[in-house]
Structure 1
Amino acid sequence: MQINRERRKGNEVMNRILLGANYYPEDWDEELIDFDIEKMKECGFNVVRIAEFSWKKMEPVEGEYDFAWLHRVVDKMHAAGIGVIMGTPTATPPHWFVKKFPEAPMLHEDGVRNSHGGRRHCCSNNPDYIRYSEKIVEKLAKEFGGDPGVIGWQIDNEIYHNGIGCCCDHCMKAFHQHLTEKYGDVESLNKAWNLNLFSQAYDDIDDVPVPANAWHNPHIKLEWNLSHFKSHKNFVHLQAAIIRKYSSAPIGTDTMPFNGFDYRELNDPLDVAQFNHYFTDLQKVTLWMDYMRHFSKRPFWNTETQACWNGSTQMGHAMQDEGFVYMNTWLPVMLGGEANLYWLWRTHWAGHELMHGAVLDTSGRYTYANGEIRKASAEFQKVADFLPDYKVKSDTALLFTSLNWNIKLTQDINAAIKNEYGFVEDFYKALLKSGIHPDVIDAKEELSNYKLIFTPTAYTLEEHDFPKRMTEWVREGGVWVVGPMTDIRTGIGTKYKTSPYGSLEEMIGAHLDYILPDDAGKVELTNEEGNVAHGSAIYELFGKGDFEPWLTVTKGHSALIGKCPVFAKQLGKGWVVMLGTLPEEAEFARIIKKAAGIAYAKVYDVDDGIMVTERVSGEDTLYLVASVGGKAGEFRFEGEYVDLLQGTVYRDGLKLTPYELYILKKA
């Protein structure tokens, strides 16, 4: 047995797995740094994130800069073999700035402006905030751009807006400019949004208001969201351009999974996707990492996660089961990432977020999960010289796009769907349970890498010529499982006038008779094997046609009897599987495996909670097998495989305890 140990080229950091924490030296006496470094080395840490909230300490008085303290931190870390990810401090402009520019903070829909006292409290469109942010970033980048101790950059912190966002004059101007660029003139906008309804038509684009304090239509709310995203994106990108003048180290911005951001657009000019999460459901974490991986030019960085428990002014949840922190530490590395950093190194002694867990408590003592952190760290050192060369591979994909996320946020469509991502999480977990570990992709992703693609609640397909590309992909042999409520909206969230769908009916040559909700179990189905089954939430019902029925209505309203919500239609060399309802668990698993069989897609024989990730380097293949669901279970296979962590050989199967991980290679 041999391992492909070819080293990656480029920046030295690419040859390592990074493990560390967020560090706030500005909050502590400077003489503690040596103690902290000693503890970090005990944990096997080789990276810290610093400076993201320290604008005041960098620029205590306008125009007077002090970076000496920051140099001392970076120098000490570098001497100890700990790299620094430098944060730009623009999320926390100091009080002197807010005092000088009182209109820079966000203006809420009720007319109340943010006061100084938190973070991300200023408006991304405010010209004074932008100008002063550019100045501090320029100073910081010039100061540390060539410093060998700085291995990367983090722009701002979790850039987002509270509620509907800022409603100031600058945001209104940006919104109206966005509408003009997209619709051209007010007549086109009125027509596109059907503003004759409720006499809502506007006389000028500049008359379009903030979507607040009224029962506004979903289209104005969608465009408002997209306009705000554009402003945040521009704010990040201008900082990246400044840093790039002085530094060749990777640049990114740490993000959270909310607000409907388009992570592809946000990360497009950046070097590394950075992701923060505090989920306690690790299968939700893997969904996001399987998604974010596609938007990073290098292996992504998990820049924040819990070291023990979450919290703010109070502890956020019960103590996690043993092994949770270990598995949570491994997740980004298992899924193709390069770094995992905890938030935070040491719990704050005063101020905000006093009760959030950390690697050390306030007095400098390890918290309860430190043994799990050290276990993961030791294993990272075992695999760091070869695992990063093995890329994550899957022949199945699950579609999730920012535009569809925003449509869900601005028009619920179906009250039975409680998750803001639609049915994406339901499908992802059902696929894992069925033994399929999918990539999670957006509409721009190259389709030829996949044999099987699922599109749940893809309300609109009007992105990146997706319908045409999918049709060609199916005709060439792909299997498309069209999930519930796919293709029922235009790209601006309106319905189609001549068909319930944008292109599906024409593509599959079938006619939708009815689309109706049922969250009360009034519809009963029978599958093609004669077994009774049930769906949920929605029924898209087709009459008889040139297709293979997989589920047919056999009980319910008489008008529905004999209609098919689930069927398969061959198209060229491939198939379209119309899945017009969310089936109950057992039936859903049967349909998934049947579709995978048609596609010849890879299905692993696993128990619930066990996830298999394929990693490939040239002709070599590794299988990372993990109890991500926190359950004991088994992975069944044929032949002999050796675990590269412990050296043990396993034949025909492997039993896992909760939160256990193996790296298998054919013996």
Structure 2
Amino acid sequence: MPIWYGGDYNPEQWPRAVWDEDAALMREAGVNLATVGVFSWSRLEPRDGEFDFEWLDVVLGKLHAAGVRADLATATASPPPWLTLRHPEMLPVTASGVRLSTGSRQQYCPSSPVYRRYAARLVQALADRYGSHPALEMWHINNEYGCHVSRCYCDVSAEAFRAWLRARYGTIDGLNDAWGTSFWSQRYSAFEEVFPPRDAPTFKNPAQLLDFDRFTSHELLECFRAEKAILRAATPDVPVTTNFMGLFKPANYWEWAAEMDFVSDDSYPDPADDSAYLHSAMTRDLMRSLAGGKPWVLMEQAPSAVNWRPQNAAKLPGQMRAWSYQAIAREARGIMFFQWRQSVAGAEQFHSGMLPHSGTDTRVWREVKALGAELAELSDVLPSTVAAPSVEVAIVLDWESWWALEQAARPSRLSYAAQISGWYRAFAEAGVRVRFVRAGDDLSPYRVVVAPALFLAADQDLENLDSYARGGGTLVVTFQSGIVDEKLRVRAGGYLGPLQRTLGLWIEEFTPLAGHPAAIAGTVTSTSQTWSEVVRLTGATVESEFTEGPAAGGPAITRNGTAWYVAADLAADGKAALAETLLGRLGLGLPRPAPGVERVTSGSDTYVINHNPAPYVVELDGTDLLTGKPARGLSLPRYGVAIVRAVTP
């Protein structure tokens, strides 16, 4: 399949005289897909019910003539000023009761029937007019759902929340039981008494907070589903997507991904951070996992600098290309940017574009053009199907655990994303591909499954992990796992629930660390900066123990058959050492890549990406698909890339 290449195109920001130049330069740059109309509602519908499609007709015609396909957006991400002036009740309200104003973007309450009604009317008009347009490649619904307004606390949201709760619990007694409202005299006598968790004197009900997280992800998804239903009825064969945002807390992307014809993602790692490539690699593997064996699209990245950090570093020469190949190595078949032409007005005027303010005699333009030509040639030689890696480690990623773990009034303040990324890094740097899974998934394909801080889990999910370990799979469970069930009820009697028998232990007491790290020695020697606990063994053996800190003399890492437990927040060296230990004992020790060098194998191709300042010499046999040269001995400069295709016996 061809690799889509292009970016967000906003012709409404420019005079018409520029549009012909855009089409010609897109052809020169190898652009074959443009995302059009993301923020154009006020141009498409300048007044209530008065649609102006003439300008978009012209734009799509010019793109089609230039051989550029359209990722046509529904434009519902930013309602026009006339709509919010007429219906201020659709504007979102914060937890403290402040109603947000127009003048930015994403200024709508996701539960608002007014917003949904006007959005549906616009989407229907777009589908009717452009559903059979020869340039239409796909539909792009809304944009970055929840990025700025993931929760609304207005009275409309309150009523929608009550309806969601009625559907979930049936009766008010069912809700009272689930929320434990006997505590602090919170018992409700009717659903009408229930409100969103607005600002309150002190800690809010934890189960209410969790349900509101569930509800708000659901409400955003309902907005997507409503638009998708219109498009599906009008254009059943045209795929639809919306752009994810990597490891994004407010939206449960496992649920969202099931609604996508293909997954797409926006990714903006910091060019000034030498380790940022590891975070971007993780988000690309997350998209690969969410895609479920299908190709996905990197929908947005910056050609160079962004404009929203305190210091906005430009990408160094070759860095944009290297990070693009990170995605292709992980089954992306679309490399897109925000945006095509750098804006001269508006809030993102200093966000880089494929065509910079300074024009075509620039490094950024030359790199954009070169990558477009390279990807066009690569499209013909990359496999059209996703190849299954020979060795993969799975990491359990659970949005509800994320929401629950990071509430207030927890044993210690922990970052769920940091736990996930720390374990990802340990295995990725060991040269192993990582896939993200849910605890209830089929885990049999994986030799190692890691469940970091699975704070909230249903019994059946813990039983699934138990079955995996009893079947011979290597299971690693870390601290703060199996602490509460899906109703946020604590699993008393040593926590862990069904995993107590799996791991051969129970937990007597949490002993979080405050400013004084605990030392660990044994099979893994390391430190723990934030966490220790007192563990009681019922069959497990000790692999490492705490030698300092409040749990000194007690187990820090244990093993019960093939089930491991980590009672410490291991430093990076400790995670790396444990990863090496597990892989070594399984006979899966792979040649460890040099620090700062990615080596990702997909089928018969191995991608080698050098993120180091110093050159790296490729040590693999085969042919480099990018140069046509023998790969072994090829010297890669900083941000150099090789795609080594192994010689078929």
TM-score by length of 1: 0.89
Match of 1:509 in 2: 504
Deviation, structure 1 residue 365: 4.3
Work out which of the residue numbers 624, 632, 642 in structure 1 matches 2:623: 642
Work out which of the residue numbers 333, 340, 348 in structure 2 matches 1:345: 340
Instruction: Give 1:9-48 correspondences, 5 Å limit.
Output: 15-48=1-34
Q: Is the 8 A contact 2:439 2:464 kept in 1?
A: no
Name the SS of the counterpart of 2:601 in structure 1: strand
Match of 1:471 in 2: 466
Name the SS of the counterpart of 1:565 in structure 2: strand
Q: Is the 8 A contact 2:146 2:250 kept in 1?
A: no
Match of 1:607 in 2: 594
Deviation, structure 1 residue 415: 4.5
Equivalent-residue separation in structure 2 for 1:443 and 1:633 (angstroms) = 41
More divergent stretch after superposition (179-188 vs 335-344):
179-188
Work out which of the residue numbers 545, 554, 558 in structure 2 matches 1:567: 558
More divergent stretch after superposition (102-111 vs 270-279):
102-111
Work out which of the residue numbers 250, 260, 267 in structure 2 matches 1:270: 260
Deviation, structure 1 residue 412: 7.2
Is 1:230 paired with 2:218?
A: yes
Match of 1:8 in 2: none
Instruction: Give 1:135-214 correspondences, 5 Å limit.
Output: 135-160=121-146, 162=148, 165-214=151-200
- Paired amino acid for 1:622: D
Equivalent-residue separation in structure 2 for 1:634 and 1:423 (angstroms) = 30
Equivalent-residue separation in structure 1 for 2:623 and 2:599 (angstroms) = 15
Q: Is the 8 A contact 2:150 2:250 kept in 1?
A: no
- Paired amino acid for 1:431: F
Name the SS of the counterpart of 1:518 in structure 2: coil
Deviation, structure 1 residue 200: 2.4
Work out which of the residue numbers 86, 102, 121 in structure 2 matches 1:116: 102
Deviation, structure 1 residue 315: 7.7
Match of 1:12 in 2: none
Name the SS of the counterpart of 2:563 in structure 1: strand
Q: Is the 8 A contact 1:90 1:133 kept in 2?
A: yes
Unmatched runs of 5 consecutive residues or more in structure 1: 1-14
Equivalent-residue separation in structure 1 for 2:333 and 2:195 (angstroms) = 44
Is 1:403 paired with 2:400?
A: yes
> Alpha carbons of 1:445 and 1:371: their partners in 2 closer, same or farther (altered >3 Å)?
farther
Q: Is the 8 A contact 2:618 2:636 kept in 1?
A: no
Deviation, structure 1 residue 335: 1.2
> Alpha carbons of 1:371 and 1:415: their partners in 2 closer, same or farther (altered >3 Å)?
farther
Equivalent-residue separation in structure 2 for 1:54 and 1:373 (angstroms) = 25
Residue deviations 1:151-178 (CA, integer Å, cap 9, x gap): 0111011111646722222211111122
- Paired amino acid for 2:369: R
Instruction: Give 1:590-601 correspondences, 5 Å limit.
Output: 590-601=577-588
> Alpha carbons of 1:163 and 1:240: their partners in 2 closer, same or farther (altered >3 Å)?
closer
Equivalent-residue separation in structure 1 for 2:613 and 2:402 (angstroms) = 30
Equivalent-residue separation in structure 1 for 2:68 and 2:149 (angstroms) = 38
Q: Is the 8 A contact 1:324 1:630 kept in 2?
A: no
Q: CA RMSD for the aligned pairs?
A: 2.5
Is 1:64 paired with 2:50?
A: yes
Name the SS of the counterpart of 2:458 in structure 1: coil
> Alpha carbons of 1:633 and 1:93: their partners in 2 closer, same or farther (altered >3 Å)?
same
Instruction: Give 1:397-476 correspondences, 5 Å limit.
Output: 397-411=394-408, 413=410, 415=412, 417=414, 419=415, 421-462=417-458, 465-476=460-471
Q: Is the 8 A contact 1:479 1:598 kept in 2?
A: no
> Alpha carbons of 1:552 and 1:144: their partners in 2 closer, same or farther (altered >3 Å)?
same
Work out which of the residue numbers 605, 608, 612 in structure 2 matches 1:625: 608
Q: Is the 8 A contact 1:577 1:595 kept in 2?
A: no
Deviation, structure 1 residue 444: 4.8
Name the SS of the counterpart of 1:330 in structure 2: helix
Deviation, structure 1 residue 292: 1.8
Match of 1:666 in 2: 646
Is 1:657 paired with 2:643?
A: no
Deviation, structure 1 residue 632: 4.2
Equivalent-residue separation in structure 2 for 1:57 and 1:547 (angstroms) = 66
Q: Is the 8 A contact 1:539 1:565 kept in 2?
A: yes
Deviation, structure 1 residue 16: 0.4
> Alpha carbons of 1:466 and 1:366: their partners in 2 closer, same or farther (altered >3 Å)?
farther
> Alpha carbons of 1:318 and 1:412: their partners in 2 closer, same or farther (altered >3 Å)?
farther
- Paired amino acid for 2:120: E
Match of 1:301 in 2: 297
More divergent stretch after superposition (69-78 vs 201-210):
201-210
Equivalent-residue separation in structure 1 for 2:49 and 2:591 (angstroms) = 60
TM-score by length of 2: 0.92
- State the percentage of identical aligned residues: 24
Match of 1:250 in 2: 239
Q: Is the 8 A contact 1:309 1:316 kept in 2?
A: no
Deviation, structure 1 residue 306: 0.6
Equivalent-residue separation in structure 1 for 2:570 and 2:511 (angstroms) = 15
Is 1:375 paired with 2:370?
A: yes
Equivalent-residue separation in structure 1 for 2:88 and 2:549 (angstroms) = 62
Q: Is the 8 A contact 1:607 1:633 kept in 2?
A: no
> Alpha carbons of 1:315 and 1:456: their partners in 2 closer, same or farther (altered >3 Å)?
closer
Q: Is the 8 A contact 2:505 2:539 kept in 1?
A: yes
Deviation, structure 1 residue 311: 0.6
Q: Is the 8 A contact 2:329 2:607 kept in 1?
A: yes
Equivalent-residue separation in structure 2 for 1:318 and 1:403 (angstroms) = 34
Work out which of the residue numbers 359, 365, 371 in structure 1 matches 2:354: 359
Work out which of the residue numbers 197, 208, 222 in structure 2 matches 1:220: 208
Equivalent-residue separation in structure 1 for 2:528 and 2:96 (angstroms) = 43
- Paired amino acid for 2:89: E
Deviation, structure 1 residue 360: 1.9
Match of 2:273 in 1: none
Work out which of the residue numbers 273, 282, 288 in structure 1 matches 2:283: 288
> Alpha carbons of 1:414 and 1:349: their partners in 2 closer, same or farther (altered >3 Å)?
farther
> Alpha carbons of 1:602 and 1:633: their partners in 2 closer, same or farther (altered >3 Å)?
farther
Match of 2:39 in 1: 53
Deviation, structure 1 residue 636: 7.9
Aligned length in residues: 635
Name the SS of the counterpart of 1:318 in structure 2: coil
Instruction: Give 1:451-600 correspondences, 5 Å limit.
Output: 451-462=447-458, 465-521=460-516, 523-528=518-523, 533-557=526-550, 560-570=551-561, 575-600=562-587
Deviation, structure 1 residue 272: 1.3
Equivalent-residue separation in structure 2 for 1:227 and 1:546 (angstroms) = 41
Equivalent-residue separation in structure 2 for 1:289 and 1:358 (angstroms) = 22
Q: Is the 8 A contact 1:458 1:486 kept in 2?
A: yes
Unmatched runs of 5 consecutive residues or more in structure 2: 271-275
Deviation, structure 1 residue 323: 2.0
Q: Is the 8 A contact 2:296 2:332 kept in 1?
A: yes
Name the SS of the counterpart of 1:210 in structure 2: coil
